Homo-oligomer: A and B are copies of this chain.
Amino acid sequence: MLLLTLYVIGITAEAMTGALCAGRKHMDWFGVMFVASATAIGGGTVRDILFGHYPLTWVANPHFLVITCVAGLITPWIASWVARNYKLFVTLDALGLAAFSIIGCRVAMDMGLHPLICMVSSLITGIFGGLLRDLICRQSPMVLHKELYALVAFVTGALYFSLIRLDVGELIATVASLVIGFGFRMAALRFGWSLPVFRFEAPSSLH
């Protein structure tokens, strides 16, 4: 129930940031809904396709799709408010990231997948929404360039997986992973933590 609430908050916040991105590219209302939905539920969709985990969440529960489309469609009217309160959205997005990571790990565990794949599942669920948004909007994929985002998802998943295996109980595992994952992401933002960057200037003959 806690996780479902955070999931809905997460997809709403992600849908709105996706819609802003569509607005920056001057898309029409359909484009706005499309990018909003891809950003919000793209991560879980890619994960389920990679694992052959059918039916997809939004196919079985179309109201999630309605939420992301509505969140996308109202964004044009509240865009300046969203822009002024971006810190709020960054916070909601961090909450959503932690929730997505736990859900992704849970799905892979329920399928009996390898521990490493459970953590990769957290990562995929956490990052692919933003990655799809950036590919569709034709901008450099943020999550591959800077900011601690993928690592937060991976660590949150690893923590949740370990706590469940240590038999601390579903609730404690969920709350602890949420708090630590959320705190990790917010700390990374505040202190500007990031991974080292690989710069390679290649002769043009190499590809």
Contacts and interface: CB of A to CB of B under 8 A. Distances in A.
A198 B52 contact: no
A20 B200 contact: yes
Nearest to A140: B138
A141 to B, nearest CB: 7
A52 B50 contact: no
A34 interface: yes
Interface in A155-207: 194-203, 205-207
A198 B26 contact: yes
A126 to B, nearest CB: 11
A30 B195 contact: yes
B51 A55 contact: yes
Q: In the complex this chain forms, how many copies of it are found?
A: 3
Contacts of A50: 45, 49, 56, 59
Contacts of A28: 144-146, 194-198
Interface string A19-53: 11111111111111011000000000100011110
A200 B31 contact: no
Contact of A145 (B27, B117, B142): B27
A49 B199 CA distance: 33
Interface of A: 17, 19-32, 34-35, 45, 49-52, 54-56, 59, 62, 65-66, 75-76, 79, 83, 86, 113-114, 116-117, 120, 135-136, 138, 140-146, 150-151, 194-203, 205-207
27 contacts: A20-B206, A22-B144, A24-B201, A25-B145, A27-B145, A28-B144, A28-B195, A28-B196, A28-B197, A29-B195, A29-B196, A31-B143, A31-B144, A31-B145, A34-B144, A49-B50, A51-B54, A51-B55, A52-B55, A52-B56, A59-B113, A59-B114, A62-B114, A62-B116, A62-B117, A66-B116, A86-B206
